[in-house]
Amino acid sequence: MNAPTVGFVSLGCAKATVDSERILTQLKAEGYGFSANYEHADLVVVNTCGFIESAVDESLDVISQALGANGRVIVTGCLGVKADLLKKKFPNLLAITGPQDCDAVMAAVHAEAPPVHEPFYHLLPPGGVKLTPRHYAYLKIAEGCNHKCTFCIIPTMRGRLVSQAPSNVLGEAKNLVDAGVRELLVVSQDTSAYGVDRRGRADLTTGQALRPHITDLAQALGELGVWIRLHYVYPYPHVDELVELMTSDIILPYLDVPFQHASPRILRLMKRPASGEDNLARVRAWRERCPSLAIRSTFIVGFPGETDIDFQELLNFLRQAQLDRVGCFIYSPVTGARANDLPEPVDSGLAQARFDELMAVQAEISHTRLRQRVGREYKVLIDEVTEAGAVGRSASESPDVDGVIHLPGITEIQAGDFVKVKITACDTHDLTASLVEA
Ligand code: SF4
């Protein structure tokens, strides 16, 4: 008897990708096959995103397509917490489970398409099933969030912060490195808050006392000898300790800090973590301590109550902070978010104009910063090699969200190789380089 096959669609952020990888690893461990299309699968699992309305719409579209093409669909992920909405719209779903609930997904799969083999774990690749290329992987160190940002419903969907034990994180990281991963992307909702829920209790599992704190965790990860890149770090004072690790080359000199705005009034309305910090002073101090530091951030324009003065404050911040990489979203209300009740919504045309202006300002900043890199040499991790050449990233670029470094005509290397390059040109977001040393 052939093993049942599962079609799988993974939507949403890097944290959701890690959830998908856990479910896929378990399915593979139990002998399930995977189908690249809906038609040939015994059933389809859709891991949804419910962060903003456009993500909800995309999730609903995918569920609808999967139901149309296959008919047997299990929904999991963030949108799963809106089971009533889903049941009303799609009464024929096989099952609906919430985020990070691998057990409930597996129970639903077992009920609908029982496995034909006993678990056969040695068939698994050592790092489990990954949705990323073999040379980099996301490492989720915590679930949930203790903050109450008014535009966000993640704490409602994913609960309060629950940090993984340091020994678990390190064990998973070692497995990934053993499986050939060269870069670990550390993710969670609030990476800088890692461990606060464990109240300082040392993890003694490995015989060595591991303090559940992001500085100690980053230091221990850095000892694995691969690139360690931190995402979703808030500007708390202890981030200075992380910058010290970057200065000492223990982790990559890269910080993804989602500032979201620069006007203190809007940050208070958003109820952002560390909103009382002087972010410009923090950025300057970090750069002084670690000149090679690359900073990525995201911002929201058109938040309720945002005035022209607030927006100009945001643009001034960008001009002064000279961040390396910036993403921007136009505010959109999310069902269940407290910001929906705030007065003075911003007209959608005005929000779009602010978005365009912010992106134009940042494009100039990005180009200026990239121009400063022309002529310099960098260690680069190769992501892809085609007939046209290779594409890679230095410590300053994270996969999928930042720009890349093109190496035209370089084909004698492989994805996952580290090479030394010299930057020869740039455009607004990407760089071009020549190979110095393979
Ligand atoms: S820090 Fe704010 S935006 Fe991020 S997950 Fe927590 S509540 Fe949401």
Collect all residues with Cβ–Cβ distance below 8 Å to 360 and sequence separation of at least 6.
Answer: none
For residues 412 and 279, membership in a common domain is answered with no
For residues 214 and 300, membership in a common domain is answered with yes
Q: Is position 129 within any domain?
A: no
- Does the beta carbon of 98 lie inside 6 Å of ligand 1? no
Q: 346 C-alpha to center of ligand 1: Å?
A: 22
For residues 335 and 421, membership in a common domain is answered with no
Please state the rounded mean pLDDT for residues 71-76.
94
**Residue 210 DSSP one-character state:** B
Taking the CA of residue 151 as reference, the ligand 1 atom at the shortest distance is: 3
For residues 39 and 157, membership in a common domain is answered with no
Q: Is position 264 within any domain?
A: yes
382 DSSP β-pair partners: 392
- For β-strands 33-35 and 294-301, DSSP reports them as unpaired
Q: In the Cβ-directed half-sphere of 22, how many Cα atoms lie within 13 Å?
A: 20
Say whether pLDDT at 16 is over 60. Answer: yes
pLDDT tens sequence across 209-218:
788 999 999 9
Question: Which range, 77-81, 97-101, 206-210, 246-250, has the best average confidence (pLDDT)?
Answer: 246-250
CATH number of 420's domain: 2.40.50.140
Least trusted range by pLDDT, from 112-116, 247-251, 347-351? 112-116
- Helix, strand or coil, per DSSP, at residue 241: helix
More confident residue, 260 or 80: 260
76 DSSP β-pair partners: 47
For residues 296 and 416, membership in a common domain is answered with no
Taking the CA of residue 146 as reference, the ligand 1 atom at the shortest distance is: 6
Burial letters 224-259, b for 16+ CB under 10 A, else e: bebbbbbbbbbbbeebeebbebbeeebbbbbbbbbb
For residues 366 and 388, membership in a common domain is answered with no
Whose CA is closest to atom 4 on ligand 1? 189
Taking the CA of residue 145 as reference, the ligand 1 atom at the shortest distance is: 6
Give the span between the Cα atoms of 423 and 405, in whole angstroms.
8
- Does the beta carbon of 216 lie inside 6 Å of ligand 1? no
Q: Is position 130 within any domain?
A: no
For residues 316 and 263, membership in a common domain is answered with yes
The predicted pLDDT at position 171 comes to 93
Mutational pocket test of ligand 1: of 146, 147, 153, 260, the residue with most ligand atoms within 8 Å of the beta carbon: 147
For residues 270 and 324, membership in a common domain is answered with yes
- Does the beta carbon of 147 lie inside 6 Å of ligand 1? yes
Whose CA is closest to atom 8 on ligand 1? 152
Please state the rounded mean pLDDT for residues 325-339.
92
For residues 142 and 274, membership in a common domain is answered with yes
The predicted pLDDT at position 315 comes to 97
- Does the beta carbon of 143 lie inside 6 Å of ligand 1? no
Say whether pLDDT at 100 is over 90. Answer: no
Q: 39 C-alpha to center of ligand 1: Å?
A: 38
Q: Place 345 in a pLDDT band, splitting at 50, 70 and 90.
A: very high
Give the span between the Cα atoms of 363 and 366, in whole angstroms.
5
- Does the beta carbon of 255 lie inside 6 Å of ligand 1? no
Q: 126 C-alpha to center of ligand 1: Å?
A: 32
Least trusted range by pLDDT, from 126-135, 211-220, 255-264, 383-392? 126-135
DSSP secondary structure of 143-185: ES-S---TT--HHHHH-S-EEPPHHHHHHHHHHHHHTT--EEE
> What's the pTM?
0.82
Q: Report the mean per-residue pLDDT for the chain.
A: 92
* Number of domains, the chain: 3
Q: 334 C-alpha to center of ligand 1: Å?
A: 13
Say whether pLDDT at 123 is over 80. Answer: no
DSSP secondary structure of 364-414: HHHHHHHHTTTT-EEEEEEEEEETTEEEEE-TT--TTTS--EEEET--SS-
Give the span between the Cα atoms of 139 and 232, in whole angstroms.
12
Both tokens of 430, joined, read 């990407």
For residues 97 and 203, membership in a common domain is answered with no
Domain termination residue (choose one: 330, 348, 371): 371
pLDDT tens sequence across 395-410:
999 999 999 999 999 9
Phi and psi, residue 51, nearest 5° = -70, -50
Least trusted range by pLDDT, from 9-18, 109-118, 120-129? 120-129
Q: Is position 49 within any domain?
A: yes
CATH number of 115's domain: 3.40.50.12160
Q: 182 C-alpha to center of ligand 1: Å?
A: 29
Residue bearing tokens 């149309």: 68
Q: Is position 128 within any domain?
A: no
**Residue 276 DSSP one-character state:** T
Domain termination residue (choose one: 371, 396, 412): 371
Say whether pLDDT at 131 is over 60. Answer: yes
CATH number of 191's domain: 3.80.30.20
For residues 169 and 20, membership in a common domain is answered with no
More confident residue, 153 or 121: 153
Give the span between the Cα atoms of 42 and 289, in whole angstroms.
55
Q: Is position 196 within any domain?
A: yes
Say whether pLDDT at 122 is over 60. Answer: no
Q: Is position 236 within any domain?
A: yes
Mutational pocket test of ligand 1: of 51, 143, 145, 146, the residue with most ligand atoms within 8 Å of the beta carbon: 145
Which range marks the domain in which residue 242 is found?
136-371
Give the span between the Cα atoms of 42 and 4, in whole angstroms.
6
- Does the beta carbon of 95 lie inside 6 Å of ligand 1? no
Please state the rounded mean pLDDT for residues 187-194.
94
Give the span between the Cα atoms of 98 and 127, in whole angstroms.
25
Please state the rounded mean pLDDT for residues 173-199.
94
- Does the beta carbon of 154 lie inside 6 Å of ligand 1? yes
Give the span between the Cα atoms of 404 and 384, in whole angstroms.
11
Mutational pocket test of ligand 1: of 189, 269, 331, the residue with most ligand atoms within 8 Å of the beta carbon: 189
Domain termination residue (choose one: 323, 340, 371): 371
pLDDT tens sequence across 363-376:
999 999 999 999 99
Q: Is position 15 within any domain?
A: yes
Q: What is the tally of helices (H) and strands (E) in the chain?
A: 12, 18
Q: 176 C-alpha to center of ligand 1: Å?
A: 28
Burial of 363 (0-12, 13-18, 19+ CB in 10 A): middle
- Does the beta carbon of 152 lie inside 6 Å of ligand 1? yes
For residues 193 and 110, membership in a common domain is answered with no
Both tokens of 262, joined, read 């620069």
- Does the beta carbon of 145 lie inside 6 Å of ligand 1? yes
Q: 98 C-alpha to center of ligand 1: Å?
A: 18
Amino acid present at 177: V
Both tokens of 154, joined, read 């993640």
Angstrom distances, CA of residue 81 to CA of 75, 104, 149: 10, 13, 19
